[in-house]
Amino acid sequence: MAETIGIVQRLTIAPDWACTWIGPTPANTELLVVTDTSGVLRGNIVDALATALVSRREIKAGHADNNGEITYILIEPA
């Protein structure tokens, strides 16, 4: 399991997926995705990413080593 750490630089929400760019600068990011948001928590992950983006908070996004599908996020106390 990998955990990408950084600032949420950008978030796009489409009808059946959301993708986010996480990294220290707008030019140095990892692209991660949330696909099946029909589950309650997956949808909340997208909402939490939006909150982290506007609050400039660092997050940790968990995903498998070989793909960018976010399975959890961690936002530590500031």
Partner 1 sequence: MASTKGLVQRLTLSEELSSGCFFIGPSPYSTELLFIMMKPSDSVLLRRQKESMINLLIKAQRADYNVTAYHDQNSAEVDWVALGDFDISPIGLAIHNDFYSISGYGIPDNVEIVFDSTNLTITVQPDIVRPHWVFVAELPNAIPVGRNMVSLQAPGWSSDAVPIDVHAGPPATVRVLYSGSPRTNPYTVAFVANPAIESAAGGTFSADPVLTQRTDFHDAVNYCLRTMLTETEDLLRQNNLDTHIRFVTIFDSTLTANNNNSLAQELNPNLMLTRRDRLRPFLARYFEVADMVMVLHGSTTHDRATAWYTTDNANMPGTAYTYDGVNRLHGHIPEIPGSAAIPISVDQTGHTALHEFCHGASDFNNGRIWDLYHDGPSGGFDVNKKFRANNTDPIPNNFANYNGTNYNSDQNRNGIGYPIAWESYHPALIDPTRPNLMDNYWQAFDTPLRCRLDQLTYDLLSDRLRAKIFR
- 5 vs 43: CA distance, rounded Å: 20
Is residue 10 within the footprint of partner 1 (CB under 8 A)? Answer: yes
Q: Which of 30, 33, 69, 71 touches partner 1 by CB under 8 A?
A: 30
Is residue 72 within the footprint of partner 1 (CB under 8 A)? Answer: no
**Buried (b) or exposed (e) across 50-64, using 16+ Cβ within 10 A?**
eebbeeeeebebebe
Which residues would be at the binding site for partner 1 (CB under 8 A)? 2-16, 18, 21-30, 36-38, 42-43, 46-47, 50-51, 53-58, 74, 76-78
